[in-house]
Chains A and B, each alone.
Chain A
Amino acid sequence: MNGKTITVRQEIPVASIVTRALHFFRAPIHWVFLGVAGILAFLSLYPTAFLIYGSFTDAPLGVPGHFTFANYIRAYSDPSAYPLILNSFVFGIGSSGLSIILASALAWITVRTNAPFRRVFELTAIIPNILPPLLVSISWVMLLNPNNGLINVILVRLLGLEKGPFSIYSIAGLIFVEGLILTPLAFLIISAALKGMDPSLEESAKTLGSTELGVATRITFPLMRPAILAAGTLNFVRAVESFDTPAIIALPARIEVFTTKIWREALGSFPTNHNLAAAYGIGILVIALLFVYLYRRFTSRVESFSTVTGKAFQPHQIDLGPWRYLASIWALVLLIMMVVLPIIVLLLISFLPYYHVPTWQSWQTLTFKHFLAILDSDRVYKAFGNSLFLALGGATVCMVLAALTSYITVRTKIAGRGLLEGLVFIPWAFPGTALALGLLWAYVDFPIPIYATIWIIMIAYVTRFLPYGLRAVSSTIIQIHKELEEASVVCGAGFFATFRRILIPLMRPGVIAGWIILVTIFMREFSASIFLYSPGSEPLGPLIYFFYLDGLYGPMASLGLIISLICVMLIAVAQRFSRWETR
């Protein structure tokens, strides 16, 4: 050897790359992957890029500026920001935790037990998801404010107390109301997963002598973990980014959370400081992404959650014996808090000429004038048409994208599949208002003229709420065992046939649940719509908000109730349709 080092470079022949590429494009699933990835990348990265750019510039979006860290320095050098982040964590963990506990109990009673009226409870449990959070928060202020909240007034009169025992204006009150607002979403996700669970494991445990409680804690709960974590993750981020409830309850209580600070410092300031808002938004994004990472770690062992197999099954129903009445009473108490009490207050607001604690004389003044006013308004009809179009169209588009994304991320081994989920979660992690600003700017110069049309709102809905659909489908698809697809492929079916004939029918509970969640959210969506709608494309969410803004509580509550009623009917039709389909 002459001491020279001989380097051997292993060249990959061009022919091999071409062959690999051809092989890649031969499989239809790869085309689907590329298509879905392209759409998601465009939907999420395009507006997000504007927000990131905005956080590093010193000029309003749309105007050339200079690169700066000043927005981050201002946002995060303030020592008072950190206790607020802690407040937001306490608020987020508390309210999402409460929602999970309430939703799990309610889902278990309605899906897995023989408690009387469980079907009625199931339908009723999703009503609060239809009510705009603003209305729910206002209702609870009317019920639990320390001075003349209805519950406090009744307790003072009945028990002869000096003052009302409850105060909504506290961190506990804030968590309580937000927890109730978030419960229906958790209920839909958890109950969908419960419905799709294979009962054979539970039956085996019972055969081996386990009690019902043992089955629930050792079999049912571990199998439900992905769905519970999914619901918890969603609700945590939703609570942390929520503004409606803190604005109404936290401010009078002198409690500040991160969103109220963003409002004070950036979005509600005069003039608005979008750059600072974007810098705050990036902070929330980081927190949300951390939670997404944790969620993915929890649910990474997909196989261990496969519970829907090729064997035919009927969901396992637990006979509670005489305890079933107690279960119904428990569900009823929950629903009274979630649905009945807020609706009673909304009915009072709708039928009283102006809201006040009712006296005997008040009953003589009840009026239909608020209902008649909104039924006579062209603006209401137009907004309703817009919202219905956005809800039905947007939810359908979302669920198609969610089903495909979920399949690719959970089922395939395609390199870069994890990227899809990341893409979906980026815009969702931003506060709705900040994302709307990004969208507004992202599409203002877009070559296709969708700015200031109803389509920009639909794009916003699909972009922002896709994760809701994705979670609902994913927690179902995780439970479907691969053997069913493998059997289909062995029998000669291609990707599309397998997807259509095997996966979609098995995913149906999750898809329907997701679709319902989305329709109910879209029917009253506010935070993105308020920035994006233009005259002529006003949806119901902003309209309700403007009734609130103008002090027209009567029309606001009447419209809220009518929307809820229509949504309940839509849901009932959708559920009937899904049952009819599965026959």
Chain B
Amino acid sequence: MSLKSIILSLTAFLMLLSAPAAFSQSAKLIEAAKKEGGRTVIYGSLESGAFEAIAKAYKKKTGLEVDYWRASATKVMDRALSEYRAGKPLFDVILTNDNPMQIMQKQGIFAKYESPSFADFPKDAIDPNLGPRYRNVIIGVIYNTSIIKPADAPKSLEDLLKPQYRGKLVMPDPTQHTTTTQWVASLWKLMGKEKADKFIRDLAATKPILVESLLPAAKRVTTGETPIAISYVKYVYTFGKEGAPMDYVRLGKMMGDGHYVTLSNKAPHVNAGKVFIDYFLDDESMKILAQEAEFVNRKGVYPPIADADKIEFVEMVDLDRKQFAEKKKELQAIFLK
């Protein structure tokens, strides 16, 4: 027997030893989940396509079903809190971005559940209350390559102010769209306060086309109606695979928001909720998400977007209710005058 085959056999033996521990815990939970009805109710803002891919794999692996209620982060929080206050929470798991998760956490609607899958995330990505920031949604500048050749595309955020791009930029209305308000309020993290303030004023002066959120902005780029957008970088892949001629500006540092998954402390199907979180934060699920162009927090796992590994993620600042209201008012005077 060669040394190589001995090492391989030993590795396989060790894997077999370690596997049953994890499996027995999952198996017990799965059994308990089946006794609860075999379903998990999830409220979340993860896109339906990505979620369905995970739900299919989850069912295959555990035999359990999921009922997914998809809405914007604001509506997810709104519904969850309303049900919770009324004493009739129907959800087991919440799946949305940082700011609403923090607010819901402060309202005390989450249970503390330390999933074994937490161990696979970098320590600095683990929030003491919400667990791991499993993905980052990254906002950048995307454009239609059939209208603007890569050589003629802007190279930086400041380039968007150049006369040749006037009337060609679409972005979500920062006075209305929460994530964009947050993005504008966080620009100082990329360029310093003074430069950021000037950039925001100059950007507003170019009269960008304002739409309701990040996706309609990207959609206008795919149809060619408006060639450049401030939107999620992942749409370059999402719509690119359909054939839309899309690329993004390599800004180096880009801002975005973290997303979390958490168990309700009044979950009607608590075991099913735990099984789902274990699976959702597991390698298999994270790889599926990455394939759906999500930037997951796993070392070496990147979405199929060119140069995705070179993007330096900068987390946007959290704003509370008062700060949001003040910022929106301030931006109304700048963008809607």
Contacts and interface: CB of A to CB of B under 8 A. Distances in A.
Given A251-B211, A271-B103, A356 B86 contact: no
B68 interface: yes
A356 B82 contact: no
Interface in A414-447: 440-441, 444-445
A357 B238 CA distance: 19
B321 A270 contact: yes
B74 A356 contact: no
Interface residues of A, number: 48
Given A263-B176, A440-B82, A536-B67, A355 B210 contact: no
Interface string B273-292: 00000000000000000000
Interface stretch (B21-29, B192-200, B214-222): B214-222
Contacts of B48: 546-547, 550, 552
Interface stretch (A59-67, A209-217, A486-494): A59-67
Interface in A347-385: 353-357, 365, 379
Contacts of B74: 268-272
A576 to B, nearest CB: 38
A281 B239 CA distance: 38
Interface string A529-554: 01101111000000000110111111
A93 to B, nearest CB: 25
Interface string B38-66: 00010000011100100000000000000
Interface stretch (A96-104, A140-148, A325-333, A495-503): A140-148
A332 to B, nearest CB: 29
Contacts of B90: 452, 534-535
A264 interface: yes
Given A254-B336, A272-B74, A550-B215, A60 B82 contact: yes
Given A264-B176, A270-B99, A252 B209 contact: yes
Contact of A60 (B81, B210, B211, B226): B81
Contacts of A142: 223
B225 interface: yes
Contact of A63 (B41, B85, B224, B239): B85
A141 B210 CA distance: 14
Given A63-B85, A148-B224, A252-B210, A534 B69 contact: yes
A56 interface: no
Interface in B249-283: none
B67 A354 contact: no
B242 interface: yes
Given A546-B48, A551-B218, A551-B219, A271 B78 contact: yes
Contacts of A252: 170, 209-211
Contacts of B219: 551, 553
A549 B103 CA distance: 24
A451 interface: yes
Contact of A62 (B82, B103, B225, B238): B82
Contact of B244 (A148, A354, A440): A354
A534 B210 CA distance: 32
Nearest to A549: B215
Interface string A243-259: 00001100110100000
Interface in A266-311: 268-272
Given A251-B173, A354-B244, A552 B103 contact: no
Contacts of A353: 242-243
Contacts of B85: 60, 62-63
Nearest to B43: A535
Contacts of A551: 215, 218-219, 235, 238-239
Nearest to A547: B48
Contacts of A530: 71
Contacts of A444: 82-83, 86, 88
| Secondary structure class of chain A's binding surface, majority of residues | loop
B156 interface: no
Contact of B225 (A145, A251, A254, A268): A145
Nearest to A452: B90
Contacts of A550: 47-49, 215
B78 A535 contact: no
| Count class of interface residues, chain B | 35 or more
Contacts of A63: 85
A355 B238 CA distance: 14
B227 to A, nearest CB: 9
Nearest to B244: A354
A196 to B, nearest CB: 43
Given A263-B176, A550-B49, A270 B68 contact: no
Given A60-B81, A264-B176, A272-B78, A147 B225 contact: yes
A142 B68 CA distance: 32
Contacts of B325: 269
B324 interface: yes
B70 interface: yes
Interface in A211-267: 247-248, 251-252, 254, 263-264
A86 B181 CA distance: 28
A554 B239 CA distance: 11
B129 interface: no
B230 interface: no
B103 A535 contact: no
Interface in B74-113: 74-75, 77-79, 81-83, 85-86, 88, 90, 99-100, 103
A533 B325 CA distance: 30
A92 B209 CA distance: 25
Nearest to B207: A254
A445 B223 contact: no
Contacts of A251: 173, 176, 210-212
Given A148-B223, A252-B210, A264-B176, A354 B324 contact: no
B67 A535 contact: yes
Residue among B81, B99, B170, B225 with most chain A CB within 10 A:
B225
Interface string A135-177: 0000001100101100000000000000000000000000000
B141 to A, nearest CB: 18
Nearest to A444: B86
Contacts of B103: 271
Contacts of A536: 67
Contacts of A61: 82
B115 interface: no
A75 B243 CA distance: 46
Contacts of A268: 74, 176, 178
Nearest to B173: A251
Contacts of A62: 82, 85-86
Given A354-B244, A549-B215, A254 B210 contact: yes
Contacts of A272: 74-75, 77-78
A333 to B, nearest CB: 26
A354 B242 contact: yes
Interface string A509-546: 00000000000000000000011011110000000001
A187 to B, nearest CB: 30
A550 B232 CA distance: 12
A545 B67 CA distance: 18
Contact of A441 (B82, B173, B175, B222): B82
Contacts of B173: 251
B195 to A, nearest CB: 26
Given A270-B74, A354-B239, A452-B88, 14 more contacts: A60-B81, A251-B173, A251-B211, A270-B178, A271-B78, A354-B222, A354-B244, A355-B223, A356-B224, A441-B82, A452-B90, A535-B69, A535-B90, A546-B70
14 contacts: A147-B224, A148-B225, A251-B210, A251-B211, A268-B176, A270-B74, A271-B77, A354-B243, A440-B82, A444-B82, A535-B67, A535-B68, A546-B70, A549-B215
Interface of B: 41, 47-49, 52, 67-72, 74-75, 77-79, 81-83, 85-86, 88, 90, 99-100, 103, 170, 173, 175-176, 178, 181, 209-212, 215-216, 218-219, 222-226, 235, 238-239, 242-244, 321, 324-325, 328, 336
